[in-house]
Structure 1
């Protein structure tokens, strides 16, 4: 382990950075943090209506199959880049090296906003979908109709503060929790799938998995989940792809924890693509179980946003098993947001140490006692909570109830995947030219074809998040595309230091030694 740590530190020094964070994560831990953020028992449940209520069983099952394939291609492309540049900056650092300082800065803001939306949306869904509606309401039969928005705010504050504390007191604690989550997600998923089939109220009809119907429209058979009427079944299917995009995302966490992972050049790309692969496969079987064990596709679709709850309530599972599963779902969703905050804080730390954020000196501070970016962690907590308050804006725009937070979830998927596309596409053009040195994880002759597939696929799939009820995401995306270049030209290009390259790396070696002298290994 000491040998790999020395090599990791040497690689980091060659990239111009000091080893400030504590390198305590194993290969499994790196996998587990991305697997925990993806958490198919989070988005795979909460966003199920996005696909099922657009085109039925085929939309959910085939949509997961198609969308998951593109996510895997993206993870492979990102993993190859991460193997060459294993730093906490992740997308920001890679885009800077491969495409230039502006594109790195541009990708950083989309990545940061997407990560904040991850934490905010997961914690809100943790309360609304899993704690209040599933555990208390659908499983324990408790009347939650008197619960107000203040109950939600109080719950989210407690969740965020405790997630902040776990992150504050060291990556060792966070790693133990996310490692547990990795095993727990797998175990719960397998038990859930077996239970759904074993206690199915109907005989299995596999034709459901390849049957498509256009269920869109505010008064359509899909319960108004997709409020506009899609011009064709294919268009409706396309809208529903946001389901898998929201669920299988956040795997850049493996990159953001590069500087805390042993043998990072090998374990980071492996953690990235394997977390996506296993989520894709297990998620596909889980989605099939949802569709196949639903008493009636038509009644499930008519339930609108309650389509999952219709299936859950109809299952003949014993009450004790439903309670155990629901409690497990609450736990893994909590850890999903915890891992999201870890990723967010590391990204903020890395961006700040290169002068990319206001109060960069403060946000790049690392505690000498806990070896964590404490100010970045708590800034992430505050910003994530503020993000959950965007529901107020949603009400002003005419959105009601959980729709508001589906918009939040959609924004998370769109912004993260845009930030993923930038270094992947940049790598496609830079490979063999300005990018000639790769890490141990090398896609070889498949590198460019995979990059092309993932880059174009991401840009296309991102547009699925621009249609009603997610129009605010479109406006925000266009706003950022316009405003960020204006800010850059207006002066950011002169003040932003960016990632160290060339002579700057050599000049920083003395400073690196001074920084590392503050920490006890």
Structure 2
């Protein structure tokens, strides 16, 4: 590791000291700057992913108001969640992230449940993003440019494409965090650039004068032609349904926490990465989705397009622009999936080193040369591919990942309200001070509201997944005996006993 310490010795020493104080060795390569930590979460949020694929869900719920007002309401909730998460991350910057926080603040059993919600959500994120890379971004946008008829691409082509994409992302992750951060840093700039070009282009080629009242006009489109929602006569439920756009888009920012052990000056840069990723995504995302509403011939026509509304918007542009933007959107979505796999693999690694997974001994192994958790990377990739084998899985995967992640976000925040000042006495540099509890309460309400949106019809399957997960976890904890065998992250006297083992691990990694 000596080559990594040049010029940043003080920060790395402080980071390692803090990591040791939590009972862990510095196994991963700590190369990420503050910008890189921001960029990995910004790349996963990727307004050109969820902002496009989930846009029809909002438009076909309450029309323009579900976008113009709904995005603002949803973003306010998300910012509360992000601020509360950032405060905890500043105190406990480890790769385990939410799992580790849940264990410290709520006990090892509570943390174990958080871990499974977070892990399943992360696997579904990789699956849903790469599903989206295939359709609509490859199948609908790129394939016609290559002379391939979209209708000729069946389940076999879909499965092969997603598998190749995911395995290539795993290979890049395998090569080390330097490769990953180079790509996600690039993606950060590329998302800004492509979003601005797309926004300006749609405004320039809009078929008529811009009608800003669309953004604040509520119309119940549920049950109508092209709508993704069944008929619902409740204005409140219709509006809440539209929040799915924000829920799915503004998620995955726990990646900044999962890469804590690879980030320099983590106690400062991790919370900053979380907050800035959400803030910039909320701002630029609002501009982008608002322009989608303003540029279409009419809201009614946009709703009728259904999931093809973005392709229809892109079709208004000159062919060269369509090609350039289509390729740009495809590339940032590919890197989005790559960053999602990075986050997922770090969670698998962190949970495995505490003995929380089957085959934990293998899954916690770190490659000596690349300093990456290679078994965790490839396992995450294979599980994500498996999740996409059901042909029409995108809606279920995209909704489930958001719901599961927000539940895992809210769980440590909620127990933190009661642990603050008791078991949680020492905070990090990012501190909400007197606002800590009020923000946490609002974050809990907001996070659960966003999760509630995701289990409404026609997404009942997500509720079934949650119930099934809870039943399985209860059986394993109480019946199979995980309650007795799982020790959780090091705490108390165990941390002191781990110090000799930590030094041994680090000597082996440096040899």
TM-score range, shorter chain: over 0.9
Q: CA deviation at 1:170?
A: 0.5
SS in structure 1 at match of 2:383: helix
**Which residue is 2:227 aligned to?**
224
1:79-98 pair list within 5 angstroms: 79-98=86-105
2:471 is equivalent to residue 482 of structure 1: yes
Instruction: Pick the aligned partner of 1:500 from 481, 490, 495.
Output: 490
Residues 368-398 of structure 1 show CA distances to partners (whole Å, capped at 9, x for unaligned) of: 111000000010111010011133xxxxxxx
Structure 1 contact 407–469 (Cα < 8 Å) conserved? no
Once residues 145 and 508 of structure 1 are traced to their aligned partners in structure 2, the CA distance between those partners, rounded to angstroms, is 58
1:53-452 pair list within 5 angstroms: 53-137=60-144, 142-217=148-223, 220-221=224-225, 223-226=226-229, 228-313=230-315, 315=316, 317-391=317-391, 401=392, 404-452=393-441
Once residues 121 and 107 of structure 1 are traced to their aligned partners in structure 2, the CA distance between those partners, rounded to angstroms, is 21
**Which residue is 1:510 aligned to?**
500
Q: CA deviation at 1:56?
A: 0.7
Once residues 211 and 142 of structure 1 are traced to their aligned partners in structure 2, the CA distance between those partners, rounded to angstroms, is 39
Structure 2 contact 61–227 (Cα < 8 Å) conserved? no
Q: CA deviation at 1:140?
A: 6.7
SS in structure 2 at match of 1:200: coil
Q: CA deviation at 1:141?
A: 7.0
Structure 1 contact 407–470 (Cα < 8 Å) conserved? yes
SS in structure 2 at match of 1:508: helix
Q: CA deviation at 1:518?
A: 1.1
Residues 211-238 of structure 1 show CA distances to partners (whole Å, capped at 9, x for unaligned) of: 0111112xx24x2311x21122221111
Q: CA deviation at 1:142?
A: 4.7
Q: CA deviation at 1:487?
A: 1.9
**Which residue is 2:449 aligned to?**
460
**Which residue is 1:396 aligned to?**
none
Once residues 198 and 305 of structure 2 are traced to their aligned partners in structure 1, the CA distance between those partners, rounded to angstroms, is 22
Once residues 246 and 491 of structure 2 are traced to their aligned partners in structure 1, the CA distance between those partners, rounded to angstroms, is 37
**Which residue is 2:5 aligned to?**
none
Q: CA deviation at 1:322?
A: 1.5
**Which residue is 2:3 aligned to?**
none
Instruction: Pick the aligned partner of 1:48 from 52, 55, 64.
Output: 55
Q: CA deviation at 1:407?
A: 1.2
Once residues 173 and 242 of structure 1 are traced to their aligned partners in structure 2, the CA distance between those partners, rounded to angstroms, is 33
Normalising by structure 1, we get a TM-score of: 0.95
Once residues 109 and 59 of structure 1 are traced to their aligned partners in structure 2, the CA distance between those partners, rounded to angstroms, is 32
Q: CA deviation at 1:469?
A: 2.2
Normalising by structure 2, we get a TM-score of: 0.97
Residues 268-305 of structure 1 show CA distances to partners (whole Å, capped at 9, x for unaligned) of: 00000110010000000001100001101111111222
Structure 2 contact 243–450 (Cα < 8 Å) conserved? yes
Once residues 114 and 258 of structure 2 are traced to their aligned partners in structure 1, the CA distance between those partners, rounded to angstroms, is 14
Structure 1 contact 140–323 (Cα < 8 Å) conserved? no
Q: CA deviation at 1:125?
A: 0.7
**Which residue is 1:395 aligned to?**
none
Structure 2 contact 91–267 (Cα < 8 Å) conserved? yes
Root mean square deviation of aligned Cα: 1.2
Structure 1 contact 295–311 (Cα < 8 Å) conserved? no
**How many residues are paired up?**
503
Once residues 382 and 470 of structure 2 are traced to their aligned partners in structure 1, the CA distance between those partners, rounded to angstroms, is 25
* Structure 2 spans left out of the alignment, 5+ residues: 1-7
**Which residue is 1:398 aligned to?**
none
Q: CA deviation at 1:432?
A: 1.2
